[in-house]
Structure 1
């Protein structure tokens, strides 16, 4: 019998694949269970309903992003503990030239589409963004005095840019450079 964490990872992976292939309209617990080769009741043991499954999928993605950001931070500051600017460049690159772009764009477009009609999922998404913004503000505040301003501008921009960035006149690396210049030019006080 698979460990709980292995089973939940398999379920989340199947959920993401179905979201990518069929969109939110095609996602059902029955299809996810079928992809995993388990009974619907077995899936419902882990996730009693579609909203719980989608919340877990979002949580998984957010944890993955946080882990990547922390790894980039550790690497940048390990190379030069005083190099907040090296971390900023890595953070911007991760958020704006994200390796998870396809996953990110697909999953979150579908989650927000579902959240329009699912108040519990919408509340979970808003709760996540508040937590994510607070976490990122705390992490950046150790390095930049205007962390609240940086986060307030950067998170919504990165969210939208993941969807439309390839359609913009500047390439992604140019946008990273632009954001770096904007952030480093912020005054220390409002």
Structure 2
């Protein structure tokens, strides 16, 4: 890792810390610079404005999630229903019913910021489009109805980040519920297996 990479990561880490501790209203470039032990002008060399800093923080989140899942994906045998089910469970645990409270808090704050910043909102929407396509590509060899599954899981993940701790089912039961729902989901007509069940032994 280069010195620039190390400094960039430090800045993003301190941004996350401030978002978690003080919320979006408390996040300023001056506070981030002070937390990093650098001058404001030095911070702005890396991130000219608050929008660029938030965008980099979002990108880092998605990259971290992708790296975790890609490592598990390499272990999956697409033709093995039990392996596929285990992979799906891992995807849901990491990306959907996420127990990383830091991620949940950060994204609540980032969406709050985007409600007042059209450019940031557009950036987030573009990330989510790309993220959805990445998830579809990740799952479509295993689950023919990947479009439908991803269209369910991404909004569920956003909702869970907001209200997951208030739901009547605990995290483990929510994961099990989603795995069951998806593995018993009828394959889409385009797969040529209408009415088939995915990952379920008959």
Output the TM-score relative to the length of structure 1. 0.92
Whole-Å Cα distance in 2 between the matches of residues 179 and 24 of structure 1? Answer: 31
Larger radius of gyration: 2
- Structure 1 residue 120, shift from structure 2 partner: 0.8
Aligned residues: 186
Residue 33 of structure 1: SS of its match in structure 2? helix
* CA positional deviation for 1:110: 0.7
Name stretches of at least 5 consecutive residues in structure 2 with no aligned partner. 190-202
Unaligned runs of 5+ in 1: none
Distance in 1, Cα, partners of 2:43 & 2:163:
35
Alignment of 1:1-190 (within 5 A): 3-75=3-75, 77=76, 82=80, 83-99=83-99, 101-190=100-189
Task: Tell whether the 8 Å contact from 2:96 to 2:153 is kept in structure 1 after alignment.
Answer: no
Q: d(CA) in 1 for partners of 2:74 and 2:98?
A: 18
- 1:60 Cα offset (Å): 0.5
Instruction: Provide the C-alpha distance between the structure 1 equivalents of 2:40 and 2:79, rounded to a whole number of angstroms.
Output: 50
Kindly indicate whether the alpha-carbon contact (under 8 Å) linking 1:96 and 1:172 is maintained by their aligned counterparts in 2: no
Would the aligned equivalents of 2:92 and 2:98 in 1 still touch at CA under 8 Å? no
Distance, in Å, in 2 between the alignment partners of 1:134 and 1:55 is 19
Q: Residue 196 of structure 2 corresponds to which residue in structure 1?
A: none
- Give deviations 1:119-175, integer Å, cap 9, x for gaps: 110011000000000000011001100000000001110121122111111111111
TM-score, structure 2 as length reference: 0.87
SS of the residue 1:113 aligns to: helix
